[in-house]
């Protein structure tokens, strides 16, 4: 990226000559001025021509062999409220540096990333999470309030410092209440070894393609309804008003009483005729599963979350919230071509008033003032079951065979019901999670505590080296389940209870977010090689607000005996305590 563009996407807010193209969410994403991305950043040492030297996707263990590049990438994120209109409807949002979607974090595999977050919110805390990174040896910078840190108090600053320990496509987002549904999110691109050979390889990296269901109300107003005792209110609050691609879409203003501008504009992308383009699809929504396709083009999938896979070609991909799918698309249309990109919320399982997002891809000689006349792909995904690509057909490029017998197994049931005060909550083994922002579990574990209040849902892995979780969904709805600190070995997924069979036992699929079916099971395993306290939760914003969350405490002895936790963690708690002594926090949901 040129430094001018980098400045726009990264740190400062506006440059006069380009402002006229910055519309909707005040970001360049989804405009024809949006830069493409290089194969890797070159402003650092390049042993053997690459930042990662001779490491390869199929020959190097991504979990243990991140290179020591010695490079630090620094970012400044100013978090503030603002009114933006991504689809033409004014929304009270919380964003970084004035933009939605927010600025990119870009690094090479093994670099350090330093993000200084200035909380310019007047009356709420915040905390940012770097979705999918392992945070090996820096678990305190994972960004989950009540778990690894106290929230950053209004007016305070906090610098996260962590390693780009995996490579591929992801996103960062607030982990404080439902803030990310208010706009507090952005992309993360980490360049690493490429497993695509010769003619399979891509030529142009288009970068992130955010798919977000969209709500016109301020996030906390929605959370209030989600936490209502009236089930009709709860269900109505979960229905989105629109669906966006890279933060843009049009809206029929007659459907809202909010300030609204017709034809706000949809995202635009450019394709080079005959070239192969990499698109980094990210479902960063609050509730809805997405089905993504491009008219007239197939999609070759090359990675699931941070896991490179043997490429396969489909006409449509499905993404649960939190999931990423990297695809390569060959521009085999005519130079004058233009095509719709589409993403649809699967309304059979998720309510949405306007579930279909559109964007346009323009070839070099296309008229960019006109919309395409292209035809949608046939829908090859059955609406509510096909959430993940089948495990049996997924082959991670780097083979890892998990232990056949884990040292411990947690069995966890997901249920939904009313508590004694009439609130509709999600439960894991009958307990609905609730955060205590003033007392992060990791810091308490470091001080030697191993027992915690029941509603903190802490599962202690002790000294076990391999841990299996058998998750049973006793509710009829799907949940995109996300584990921090690890990629999960996805051992089995399907309807009903587990029959004990492991899918592809020598090299099972791995990823950090997996959608469990309604009334289905999901069995996964991980190697406990990363001491810390790791959230495992449903990534539907409204479900985690309702308590669908557990903490997996990993190797507490190592947390207690061998961790040097930076001073800033205790200071942030003191600042938060000072703030909350004077101000009552309105924590009506789980807090996460």
Residues near ligand C2O (CB under 6 A): 129, 131, 173, 175, 322, 482, 484, 535, 537, 539
Closest CB to ligand C2O among residues 423, 484 = 484
Classify each residue of 460-473 as buried b or exposed e, where b means 16 or more C-beta atoms within 10 Å of its C-beta.
bbeebebbbbbbbb
Q: How far apart are alpha carbons 388 and 391 in whole angstroms?
A: 8
Tokens of 234: 């709860």
Output the smallest distance, CB 441 to ligand C2O, in A.
14
Output the smallest distance, CB 474 to ligand C2O, in A.
22
Output the smallest distance, CB 498 to ligand C2O, in A.
24
Say whether 22 sits in a helix, a strand or coil.
coil
Closest CB to ligand C2O among residues 423, 539 = 539
Identify whether the C-beta of residue 433 lies closer than 8 Å to the C-beta of residue 420: no
Output the smallest distance, CB 277 to ligand C2O, in A.
26
Query: DSSP assignment, residue 202?
Result: -
Burial class of residue 327, CB neighbours in 10 A (0-12, 13-18, 19+): buried
Closest CB to ligand C2O among residues 342, 484 = 484
No. of H helices and E strands in the chain? Answer: 7, 30
Output the smallest distance, CB 534 to ligand C2O, in A.
9
Please report the sign of the dihedral spanned by the C-alpha atoms of residue 11, residue 16, residue 22, residue 23.
positive
Q: How far apart are alpha carbons 507 and 23 in whole angstroms?
A: 45
Closest CB to ligand C2O among residues 300, 457 = 457
Output the smallest distance, CB 130 to ligand C2O, in A.
9
Closest CB to ligand C2O among residues 346, 513 = 513
Identify whether the C-beta of residue 373 lies closer than 8 Å to the C-beta of residue 288: no
Identify whether the C-beta of residue 99 lies closer than 8 Å to the C-beta of residue 260: no
Output the smallest distance, CB 127 to ligand C2O, in A.
11
Nearest partner of 98 among 163, 155, 15, 42, judged by Cα: 15
Closest CB to ligand C2O among residues 10, 535 = 535
Output the smallest distance, CB 321 to ligand C2O, in A.
8
Whether the bond into 101 is cis, omega within 30 of 0: yes
Closest CB to ligand C2O among residues 175, 511 = 175
Per DSSP, the residues of 129-171 read EETT---TT-GGGS--BTTTBPPBPTT-EEEEEEE--S-EEEE
Closest CB to ligand C2O among residues 425, 483 = 483
Query: DSSP assignment, residue 536?
Result: E
Output the smallest distance, CB 263 to ligand C2O, in A.
32
Q: How far apart are alpha carbons 455 and 550 in whole angstroms?
A: 9
Closest CB to ligand C2O among residues 115, 266 = 115
In the complex, which residue's CB is closest to ligand C2O?
Answer: 131
Nearest partner of 342 among 281, 264, 262, 256, judged by Cα: 281
Closest CB to ligand C2O among residues 286, 358 = 286
Output the smallest distance, CB 282 to ligand C2O, in A.
10
Q: How far apart are alpha carbons 426 and 430 in whole angstroms?
A: 8
């Amino acid at each position: 990226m040129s430094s001018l563009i980098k400045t726009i996407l990264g740190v400062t807010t506006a440059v006069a000559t380009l402002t006229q193209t910055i519309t909707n969410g005040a970001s360049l994403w989804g405009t024809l001025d949006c830069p493409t991305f290089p194969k890797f950043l070159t402003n650092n040492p390049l042993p053997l021509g690459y930042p990662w030297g001779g490491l390869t996707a199929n020959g190097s263990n991504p979990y243990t062999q991140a290179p020591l590049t010695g490079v630090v990438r620094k970012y400044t994120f100013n978090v503030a409220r603002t009114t933006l209109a991504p689809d033409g409807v004014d929304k009270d949002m919380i964003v970084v540096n004035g933009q939605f979607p927010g600025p990119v974090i870009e690094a090479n595999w093994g670099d350090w990333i330093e993000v200084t977050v200035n909380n310019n919110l007047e009356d709420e805390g915040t905390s940012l999470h770097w979705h999918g990174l392992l945070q090996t040896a820096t678990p305190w910078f994972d960004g989950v309030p009540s778990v690894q840190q106290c929230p950053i108090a209004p007016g305070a600053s906090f610098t996260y410092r962590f390693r780009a320990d995996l490579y591929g496509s992801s996103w960062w987002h607030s982990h404080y209440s439902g803030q990310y549904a208010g706009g507090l999110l952005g992309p993360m691109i980490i360049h690493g070894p490429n497993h695509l050979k010769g003619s399979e390889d891509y030529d142009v990296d288009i970068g992130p393609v955010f798919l977000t269901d969209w709500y016109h109300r301020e996030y906390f107003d929605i959370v209030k309804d989600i936490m209502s005792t009236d089930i009709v209110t709860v269900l109505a609050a979960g229905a989105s008003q629109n669906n966006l691609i890279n933060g843009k879409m049009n809206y029929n203003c007659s459907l809202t009483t909010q300030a609204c501008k017709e034809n706000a504009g949809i995202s635009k992308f450019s394709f080079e005729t005959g070239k192969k383009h990499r698109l980094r699809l990210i479902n960063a929504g609050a509730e809805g599963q997405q089905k993504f396709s491009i008219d007239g083009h197939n999609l070759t999938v090359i990675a699931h979350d941070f896991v490179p896979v043997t490429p396969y070609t489909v006409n449509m991909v499905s993404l649960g919230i939190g999931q990423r799918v990297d695809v390569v698309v060959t521009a085999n249309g005519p130079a004058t071509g233009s095509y719709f990109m589409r993403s649809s919320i699967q309304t059979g399982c998720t309510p949405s008033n306007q579930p279909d997002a559109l964007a346009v891809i323009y070839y070099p000689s296309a008229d960019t003032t006109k919309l395409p006349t292209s035809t949608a792909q046939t829908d090859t995904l059955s609406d509510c079951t096909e959430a993940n690509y089948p495990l049996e057909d997924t082959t991670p490029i780097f083979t890892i065979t998990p232990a056949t017998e884990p040292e411990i197994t947690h069995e966890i049931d997901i249920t939904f019901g009313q508590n004694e005060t009439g609130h509709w909550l999600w439960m894991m083994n009958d307990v609905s999670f609730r955060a205590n922002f003033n007392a992060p579990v990791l810091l308490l574990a470091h001080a030697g505590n191993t027992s915690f209040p029941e509603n903190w849902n802490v599962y202690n892995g002790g000294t076990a080296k391999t841990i299996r979780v058998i998750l049973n969904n006793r509710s009829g709805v799907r949940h995109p389940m996300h584990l921090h600190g690890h990629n999960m070995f996805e051992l089995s997924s399907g309807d009903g209870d587990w029959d004990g069979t492991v899918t592809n036992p020598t090299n099972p699929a791995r990823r950090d977010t997996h959608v469990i079916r309604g009334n289905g099971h999901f069995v996964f395993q991980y190697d406990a090689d990363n001491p810390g306290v790791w959230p495992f939760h449903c990534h539907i914003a409204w479900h985690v607000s309702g308590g669908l969350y557990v903490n997996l405490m990993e190797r507490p002895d190592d947390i207690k005996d061998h961790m040097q936790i930076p001073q800033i963690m205790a200071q942030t708690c003191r600042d938060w305590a000072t703030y909350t002594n004077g101000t009552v926090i309105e924590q009506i949901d789980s807090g996460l």
